[in-house]
C-alpha cells in the first residue's frame, strides 16, 4: 500500500490536517483511526463551547467533529477505522485491523495526530485501598455520554481542570450529588467560565490547596480523606476532612501519547512530553509532521485545528517538493514561561509564525518579550496570564527579519 | 451615591471577562464584546443556560444520543429539562439537528440532536 500522506489519528487534529493537505493539492491521503468512528475525544465532549474561533459559533464537541467529518467525506481522502498503528520506521507504517490484517503502508509524508491520554491514580500516588469507583474523569465521561452507564451517586472530583469541572456539572445534571472539587494548586486549572457554569451554578464547593490523602473502601469506594496542603504541596496534619462517596473522579492532567513517536526515533520535549517541532510542525525527522495534543495539551480545540492546518499545509508542500529548509534557530523559554511550541523555527519563513506557550504562575499586567542576542525584537502586553490558559503570540515578517540566532521568550513587568 | 455593582465572570466564550453590572441602571462594564454586555444584563435579570445532555437511542452503535437545547433556557428549568429528556427514547437513524423535543417546557426552544447516528449494521 502506498500513499502520498498518511495521517495517524482521526480526531480533530488528524481531520483538519488531512483536509488542509487535500486542499493544498494532495489527493492520495489515508487517515488511520483506532476507534470505530472518526472524531476522537470530541465525540464524548457533548458540552458546548467549541468552535468560536474556527466557525464563529458555539458548537458541541460532536457537532465540531461532524463538520470536519463531512468535509472529509466529500474528498478522495481514505479512512481506515478500527485500525491500530504498531510501528513507524522511516516512512513505513506498520498497522493492522480485522479486515486487512497486517499492513505495511509506504508514505511520502506522515502526520502524527495521536492526541493524549489521562494521568491515572498511579501517576499521582494517592495512598489507600484500591476499591472500585475511582475513575479518570475522561473515562467516566465516555461511560456516561457514549456508553450510557452512570458511574456513581455521590461524587468527589480531584483536579479542577476543565474536564473535572465539566464532569461536575454533567454528574449533577444526571442526578448525582457532587460533594466537592479538590484542587492541589492555590488556583483552578480550568477556564473561569467553567467555574461559573459548572460549579457555582450548582453550588459545588471548590477546595483550593487541598488534595486527597486517603482512599477507603473494601469493594466499592466508601469514603476519602482530604487534607489541606502547604506551599510545598505537602498535606498539613490536622486539616483532614472526610467525605463519604462512592465515586472519585481524577482530572489530574493529560500526557501526549508518544509511544509511536519514540519508536520512530523522534525527538521529544521533556517540558511538554510532546514532540519537538519547528514552525511548519515538522518533527526532528524530515517529512514527519505532528499536530494537536500529541505536541502539547491544548485547552481549545480551535487552536488544535489551526496547528493541524499548518501541519497539513507544510506536509503538502513537502510532498510536492516545495518545502524550503532554512537555518533553524531555537526558541527558548525564559522567566515565567514553562514551554513554547514550536521549539525551533526557520528564519526564512515567509509567513508570520504563531508561537504557543504556557506561563508558570498566574500573573497580571505583564509583557511577553521575545529577545534575540540581548535585543528585544517584539513584546506583547497581556493583562491576565493564567497557567490554565494557553497564550499565543504572532511573530510577523518584520519580527522574523530581526532574528539572527536563538530567541528567548520571557515575562517582564509591563506597566 | 454608590451604585450596586454585581461582579460576574462572563461565560459567553472561553476568555471569561470579569464584568461589573449595575443592577439598577442595567449598565455593564468590563466586557470586551457585545455578547458579553448582553450576558451581563441577562445574568442579573433572567439568567439562562444551554443544556447539553444525552437521550436513549435504540438501533445504533451506541445507546446514547447527544442533544442540546438550540438556545438558552431559564436556568431554573435545568433540572425540569433533564427530567423530560430522561423519558425520551429515540431510534436511529438520526441526523444532526433533528428536533427531539419541540418547544421545551413552553420556552419556544427545541432540543436537537448534536450528531448523526446511523443504523447499526
Taking the CA of residue A376 and the nearest CA in chain B, the distance in Å comes to 28
Cα A255 from chain centre? 8
Q: Considering A323, A341, A374, which residue would you say is the last residue of a domain?
A: A323
Q: Is the pLDDT of residue B1 over 50?
A: no
Does B53 reach chain A within 8 Å, measured CB to CB?
yes
Task: Read off the CATH number of the domain in which A185 is found.
Answer: 3.50.50.60
Q: What is the pLDDT along chain A (415 residues), one digit of tens a residue?
A: 999 999 999 999 999 999 999 999 999 999 999 999 999 999 999 999 999 888 988 999 999 999 999 999 999 999 999 999 999 999 999 999 999 999 999 999 999 999 999 999 999 999 999 999 999 999 999 999 999 999 999 999 999 989 999 999 999 999 999 999 999 999 888 888 899 999 999 999 999 999 999 999 999 999 999 999 999 999 999 999 999 999 999 999 999 999 999 999 999 999 999 999 999 999 999 999 999 999 999 989 999 999 999 999 999 999 999 998 888 899 999 999 999 999 999 877 778 999 999 999 988 899 999 999 999 999 999 988 888 888 999 999 899 988 889 999 999 998 6
| A156, three cell numbers | 468527589
pLDDT at A415: 66
CATH topology for B52-113? Answer: CPE0013-like fold (3.10.530)
Nearest in space to B53 (alpha carbons), one of B86, B25, B26: B86
Question: A228 and A189, same structural domain?
Answer: yes
Give the strand order in the sheet containing A363-372: A344-346, A328-333, A407-413, A363-372, A375-385
**Whether A228 and A337 share a structural domain:** no
Number of domains in chain A: 3
Same domain, A73 and A140: no
Extended strands (E) in A36-184: 48-50, 59-60, 78-80, 84-89, 92-97, 101-112, 116-118, 134-136, 154-158, 177-182
CB contact A65 to B (< 8 Å): yes
- Would strands A78-80 and A29-32 be described as parallel, antiparallel, or unpaired? parallel
Contact with chain A for residue B70, Cβ under 8 A = no
Backbone CA torsion sign across B85, B89, B92, B93: negative
Question: How far is Cα of residue B121 from the mean position of the Cα atoms in its chain?
Answer: 33
Which residues of chain A lie closer than 8 angstroms to B63, CB-CB?
147-148
Do A316 and A211 lie in one domain? The reply is: no
| Tens-digit pLDDT profile for residues B15-35 | 788 899 998 888 999 998 998
Residues of A in contact with B78 (CB under 8 A): 173, 201
Q: A45, A54, A59, A60: which to substitute to probe chain B, counting the most B Cβ within 10 Å?
A: A60
Nearest-angstrom CA–CA distance, A224 and A222: 7
CB contact under 8 A, A193 and B14: yes
A78-80 and A92-97 beta bridge pairing: unpaired
Distance of CA B46 to the CA centre of its chain: 13
Nearest Cβ partner of A63 from B56, B63, B96?
A: B96
Tell whether A245 and A355 lie within a shared domain.
Answer: no
What pLDDT, on a 0 to 100 scale, did the predictor assign at position A193? 86
On whether any CB of chain B is under 8 Å from the CB of A62, the answer is: yes
- Find the domain containing A207 and state its range: 120-252
Q: Where is A200: in which H helix or E strand?
A: none
**Among residues 305-364 of chain A, which lie with CB inside 8 Å of chain B?**
none
**The three grid cell numbers given for residue A53, joined into one nine-digit string:** 474561533
Task: Count CB-CB contacts under 10 A for residue A383.
Answer: 8
Among A117, A80, A86, which Cα is nearest to A99's? Answer: A80
Enumerate the residues of chain A whose CB falls inside 8 A of the CB of residue B33: none
Q: What residues in A contact B16, CB-CB < 8 Å?
A: 191-193, 196
Cell of B2: 454608590
Distance of CA A256 to the CA centre of its chain: 7
- Partner-chain residue, chosen from B9, B75, B114, that has the shortest CB–CB distance to A63: B114
Chain A residues in contact with B11 (beta carbon < 8 A)? 193, 196-197
pTM assigned to the model? 0.94
Question: Rounded CA gap, A34 and A29, in Å?
Answer: 17
Out of A252, A277, A306, a domain closes at: A252
- The partner residue sitting opposite B54, judged by closest CB among A46, A65, A191, is A46
Regarding whether A185 and A87 lie in a shared domain, the answer is no
- Indicate if A333 and A394 belong to the same structural domain: yes
Question: A224: number of CA atoms within 13 Å, CB side?
Answer: 31
What phi, psi does A4 have (nearest 5°)?
Answer: -75, -40
Query: Which neighbouring-strand residues pair with A229?
Result: A235
Q: What is the mean pLDDT of residues B91-99?
A: 97
A298 shares contact with chain B (CB less than 8 Å): no
Residues A107 and A135 in one domain: no
Shared domain check, A107 and A57: yes
Where exactly are the structural domains of chain B? 5-45, 52-113
Q: Assess whether A189 and A130 both reside in one domain.
A: yes
Are A308 and A412 members of one domain?
no
Asked whether residue A87 falls in the same domain as residue A154, the answer is no
Q: What is the pLDDT of residue A290?
A: 98
Amino acid at each position: 500500500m502506498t500513499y502520498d500522506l498518511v495521517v495517524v489519528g482521526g480526531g480533530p487534529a488528524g481531520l483538519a490536517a488531512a483536509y488542509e493537505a487535500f486542499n493544498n493539492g494532495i489527493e492520495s491521503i489515508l487517515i488511520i483511526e483506532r476507534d470505530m468512528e472518526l472524531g476522537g475525544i470530541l465525540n464524548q465532549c457533548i458540552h458546548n463551547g467549541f468552535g468560536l474561533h474556527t466557525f464563529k459559533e458555539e458548537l458541541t464537541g460532536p457537532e465540531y467533529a461532524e463538520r470536519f467529518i463531512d468535509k472529509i467525506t466529500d474528498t478522495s481522502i481514505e479512512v481506515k477505522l478500527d485500525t491500530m498503528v504498531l510501528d513507524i520506521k522511516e516512512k513505513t507504517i506498520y498497522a493492522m485491523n480485522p479486515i486487512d490484517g497486517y499492513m505495511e503502508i509506504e508514505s511520502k509524508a506522515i502526520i502524527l495526530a495521536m492526541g493524549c491520554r489521562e494521568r491515572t491514580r498511579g501517576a499521582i500516588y494517592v495512598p489507600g485501598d484500591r476499591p472500585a469507583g475511582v475513575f479518570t474523569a475522561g473515562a467516566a465521561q465516555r461511560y456516561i455520554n457514549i456508553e450510557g452507564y452512570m458511574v456513581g451517586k455521590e461524587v468527589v472530583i480531584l483536579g479542577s481542570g476543565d474536564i473535572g469541572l465539566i464532569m461536575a456539572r454533567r454528574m449533577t445534571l444526571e442526578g448525582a450529588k457532587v460533594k466537592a472539587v479538590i484542587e492541589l494548586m492555590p488556583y483552578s486549572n480550568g477556564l473561569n467560565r467553567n467555574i461559573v457554569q459548572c460549579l457555582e451554578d450548582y453550588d459545588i464547593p471548590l477546595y483550593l490547596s487541598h488534595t486527597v490523602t486517603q482512599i477507603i473502601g473494601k469493594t466499592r469506594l466508601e469514603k476519602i480523606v482530604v487534607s489541606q496542603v502547604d506551599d510545598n504541596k505537602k498535606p498539613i496534619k490536622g486539616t483532614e476532612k472526610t467525605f463519604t462517596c462512592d465515586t472519585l473522579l481524577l482530572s489530574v492532567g493529560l500526557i501526549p501519547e508518544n509511544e509511536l513517536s519514540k519508536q520512530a526515533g523522534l525527538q521529544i520535549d521533556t517540558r511538554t512530553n510532546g514532540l519537538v517541532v519547528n514552525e511548519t510542525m515538522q518533527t526532528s525527522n524530515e517529512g514527519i509532521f505532528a499536530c494537536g495534543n500529541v505536541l502539547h495539551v491544548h485547552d481549545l480545540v480551535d487552536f488544535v485545528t489551526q496547528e493541524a492546518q499548518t501541519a497539513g499545509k507544510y506536509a503538502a508542500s513537502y510532498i510536492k517538493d516545495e518545502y524550503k529548509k532554512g537555518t533553524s534557530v531555537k526558541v527558548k523559554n525564559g522567566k515565567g514561561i514553562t514551554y513554547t511550541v514550536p521549539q525551533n523555527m526557520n528564519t526564512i519563513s515567509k509567513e508570520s509564525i504563531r508561537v504557543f506557550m504556557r506561563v508558570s504562575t498566574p500573573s497580571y499586567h505583564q509583557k511577553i518579550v521575545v529577545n534575540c542576542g540581548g535585543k528585544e525584537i517584539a513584546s506583547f502586553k497581556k493583562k491576565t496570564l493564567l497557567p490554565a490558559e494557553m497564550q499565543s503570540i504572532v511573530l510577523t515578517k518584520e519580527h522574523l527579519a530581526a532574528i539572527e540566532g536563538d530567541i528567548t521568550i520571557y515575562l517582564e513587568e509591563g506597566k | 451615591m454608590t451604585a450596586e455593582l454585581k461582579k460576574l465572570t462572563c461565560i459567553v466564550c472561553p476568555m471569561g471577562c470579569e464584568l461589573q453590572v449595575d443592577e439598577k441602571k442595567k449598565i455593564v462594564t468590563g466586557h470586551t464584546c457585545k455578547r458579553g454586555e448582553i450576558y451581563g444584563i441577562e445574568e442579573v435579570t433572567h439568567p439562562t443556560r444551554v443544556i447539553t445532555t444525552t437521550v436513549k437511542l435504540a438501533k445504533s452503535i451506541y445507546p446514547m444520543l447527544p442533544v442540546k437545547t438550540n438556545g438558552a433556557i431559564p436556568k431554573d428549568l435545568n433540572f425540569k429539562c433533564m427530567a423530560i429528556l430522561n423519558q425520551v427514547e429515540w431510534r436511529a437513524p438520526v441526523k444532526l439537528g433533528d428536533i427531539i423535543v419541540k418547544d421545551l417546557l413552553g420556552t419556544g426552544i427545541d432540543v436537537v440532536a448534536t450528531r448523526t447516528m446511523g443504523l447499526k449494521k
